[in-house]
Amino acid sequence: MPLPPRRWLDDPRRGGLAALALILAMLPLVLSNRFHFDVAIHVGLAAIAVIGLNLLIGYAGQISLGHAGFFGLGAYGSAVLSGTHGWPPLLALLASALAVATLAFLVGRPILRLRGHYLAMATLGMGLLIFMVITNERAITGGPDGMSVPGLSLFGYALGSRDKGAWYALVAVLLLVAVWLALNLIDSPVGRALRALHASEVAATVGGVDVAQHKLIVFVVSAVYASVAGSLSAHYGGFITPDAVGFLHSIELVTMVVLGGMASTYGAIVGAAVLVALPQFLTAFHDYEPVLLGAILIACMIFLRRGLLPGVLDLVRARRP
């Protein structure tokens, strides 16, 4: 794709990040109670996982149908290590992320050498396995009824789950960091290699890109994003059930990527925001809620085929002379 010369504001790494930071900083002015903060925090946590998944789907062209498995391992890892074993939450989060990275590496390494959508099948199976293990190991995970998770404490400062302002600040900062890291990865040689292999694996190989290696890197990175988001949402919620690990949650994450716009890091945030917040608006329609949600999603996909954010930006650009 030939890149036109960018104006400062059009550069996602400067203008985009500044705009996002501004929005995140202004948002508390309009969030009037804890419930509004709660929705915003949920959006932020989902967005972190979705940004990671977008790297895999949008840039490397690989689909993972088991990302909720990584999310859940992060969540349960944090819950078990910090809750049952009394580890500091931050250490538990890092240990879980490391374990998830190792697992993603081991699963991805043999699979990603193959061409085609084998990763989708492998991750589907892996997600289901993780779900079954978590559901059945009642002694460790509490089984289908779930388990409680201690609150997050960072460097001696404890964040209660009703401490919405502090949580919002934490999630906002982490979201900015997540976006910044993702954008840097995309603009690095690795990112360019990914886009090359997405367009054509043969051409990329000829161009000297180690296809399997690069897919593996991004797969592991995206798994770590999901794990960290999982750990944080476990601490935030104070209680987790295997729902968070289930197949439907994996599908939800993929839907957020596609809806927001594939290969658009900011689109991933929009996708997460819509899918998390929309059901809250639609409760006024009671029984018709699922129907409306479905209709809105279908309409988006028909009229904004590239996803919400890229679709809207296209419309705006088309109007500019």
- 125 sits near another protein (criterion: CB under 8 A): no
Which window, 52-60, 195-203, 211-219, 280-288, contacts another protein (CB under 8 A)? 280-288
- 281 sits near another protein (criterion: CB under 8 A): yes
CA-to-CA distance for 31 and 250, rounded, in angstroms? Answer: 29
Which window, 57-65, 181-189, 205-213, 235-243, contacts another protein (CB under 8 A)? 235-243
- 145 sits near another protein (criterion: CB under 8 A): yes
- 207 sits near another protein (criterion: CB under 8 A): no
CA-to-CA distance for 15 and 303, rounded, in angstroms? Answer: 27
CA-to-CA distance for 204 and 193, rounded, in angstroms? Answer: 7
Which window, 2-10, 99-107, 221-229, 285-293, contacts another protein (CB under 8 A)? 285-293
- 83 sits near another protein (criterion: CB under 8 A): no
CB-nearer residue toward another protein: 188 or 285: 285
- 40 sits near another protein (criterion: CB under 8 A): yes
CB of 1 to another protein, least distance (A): 25
Q: Which of 133, 238, 247, 255 binds another protein (CB under 8 A)?
A: 238
- 128 sits near another protein (criterion: CB under 8 A): no
> Tokens in use for 123?
């991750």
**Total number of residues binding another protein (CB under 8 A)?**
49
Asked whether 215 and 197 are in contact (CB, 8 A), the reply is yes
CA-to-CA separations, 212 to 34, 58, 118, 313, in angstroms, rounded = 46, 17, 13, 33
- From residue 152 to residue 191, the character string flagging contacts with another protein as x (rule: CB under 8 A) and all else as - is --------xxx-----------------------------
CB of 251 to another protein, least distance (A): 13
- 288 sits near another protein (criterion: CB under 8 A): no
Q: Which of 101, 169, 282, 297 binds another protein (CB under 8 A)?
A: 282
CA-to-CA separations, 316 to 139, 299, 309, 312, 313, in angstroms, rounded = 55, 19, 11, 6, 5
- Which class for 282: exposed (0-12), middle (13-18), buried (19 or more C-beta within 10 A)? middle
CB of 300 to another protein, least distance (A): 9
> What's the gap between Cα 105 and its chain centre?
18
CB-nearer residue toward another protein: 128 or 282: 282
- 312 sits near another protein (criterion: CB under 8 A): yes
CA-to-CA distance for 61 and 153, rounded, in angstroms? Answer: 37
CB-nearer residue toward another protein: 157 or 283: 283
**Residues facing residue 158 across a β-bridge:** 153
- 146 sits near another protein (criterion: CB under 8 A): yes
CA-to-CA separations, 266 to 54, 64, 261, in angstroms, rounded = 10, 20, 8
Nearest residue to 43 via CA among 174, 201, 189, 185: 174
Site residues for another protein per CB under 8 A? 27, 30-36, 38-40, 42-43, 136, 138, 143-146, 148, 160-162, 233, 237-241, 243-244, 270, 273-274, 277-285, 289-290, 292, 296, 308, 312
